[in-house]
Amino acid sequence: MIRSFVAADFLTLGNGFCGSGSVLAAMQYLVTADNRWLVTAMVLLPVALILDFADGRVARWRRHSSPLGPDLDSLADVISFGLAPAALGFAVGLRGALDVVILLYFVACGISRLARFNATADALADDSGKVKYFEGTPIPTSIAIVGLLGVLHGCDRLGVNLWLGSWTFGDTVLHPLTIVYALSGSAMISTIRVPKI
């Protein structure tokens, strides 16, 4: 199978490795409370974004893609821009019951958004085969959430000092910061047309 990979596929795998590494680093942060692991988890995701951008550029530049390319890209994106940001949110304190429901919703929206794109890409393509626009925001836009978490980390507004605090409904806790995930996920599955750059 590896012999069938092209250069762009290795960049896509790098994207997936960064996303997986981010999830593992977030888990290590939960175990050790060592901030270096949290920073590592955050930094790996912009690297994943660069690799995600580069794999498409390399495929177009080399004018050669593998049959696995689109599926590899979607699977890597689900990890790096769906699961990993949700794991980061959980690691920094979004662990109330309603928080977890919203984080799972966010991941499900990312999966659904990629599935919709894969199913409709041919219909959205112009005569040259290029997709003119995305329907719903692309899943890599979740990197903005990671940026927000990075800023809050720098301001010491995560964990026990979590920005915006928490709301309690009986025995259930919701941290308002989680609403950012709900909005991002909802934008992914919306019908908003986003021009492809």
**pLDDT over threshold 80, residue 56:** no
- Per the model's pLDDT, the better-predicted residue between 101 and 135 turns out to be 101
**pLDDT over threshold 60, residue 68:** yes
**pLDDT over threshold 80, residue 149:** yes
* Number of structural domains the chain divides into: 1
**pLDDT over threshold 90, residue 81:** yes
Say if CB 186 and CB 129 are below 8 A apart.
no
**Mean predicted confidence (pLDDT) in 13-19:** 96
Query: How would you write the chain as a 3-class SS string?
Result: CHHHCCHHHHHHHHHHHHHHHHHHHHHHHHHHCCHHHHHHHHHHHHHHHHHHHHHHHHHHHHCCCCCCHHHHHHHHHHHHHHHHHHHHHHHCCCCCHHHHHHHHHHHHHHHHHHHHHHHHHHHHECCCCCECEEECCCHHHHHHHHHHHHHHHHCCCCHHHCCCCCEEECCEEECHHHHHHHHHHHHHCCCCEEECC
CATH of the domain at 16: 1.20.120
- Per the model's pLDDT, the better-predicted residue between 60 and 86 turns out to be 86
Q: In the prediction, which pLDDT does 63 show?
A: 60
Q: Which structural domain range is residue 118 located in? A: 2-195
Least confidently predicted of 4-8, 13-17, 61-65, 67-71 = 61-65
**What percent of the chain clears pLDDT 70, i.e. is strictly above it?**
87
Say if CB 21 and CB 45 are below 8 A apart.
no
**Confidence band for 2, pLDDT divided at 50, 70 and 90:** low
Q: In the prediction, which pLDDT does 23 show?
A: 98
- Per the model's pLDDT, the better-predicted residue between 180 and 62 turns out to be 180
Please name the amino acid found at residue 139: I
**Residue 144, Cα to own-chain centre: how many angstroms?**
9
**What percent of the chain clears pLDDT 90, i.e. is strictly above it?**
68
